Structure 1
């Protein structure tokens, strides 16, 4: 279940970033571009900072 949750979160972040980029390009709104950049940064941070298995 944890992998599914992580996959859904990453997918939502990436899709949100792409949508914000699209709206920012079409309307020229800087806020959407900044929001898209923020979502993409969150995506990459979540992708590379996953839960590492504990060693005993």
Structure 2
């Protein structure tokens, strides 16, 4: 049987993992969708930017 403490530890680890993934994604995707590559001549389709 799984104890409540084991379940809460696993839940907390998963929460930290999800927070890490979300932070990494946002560090990459938000500047890309905002047009940070425009000065380099790379233009992102607005629909793709919205999907990011």
TM-score w.r.t. the length of structure 1 is 0.44
Give the number of the structure whose alpha-carbon radius of gyration is greater.
2
The higher-RCO structure (CA 8 Å, 6+ apart) is: 1
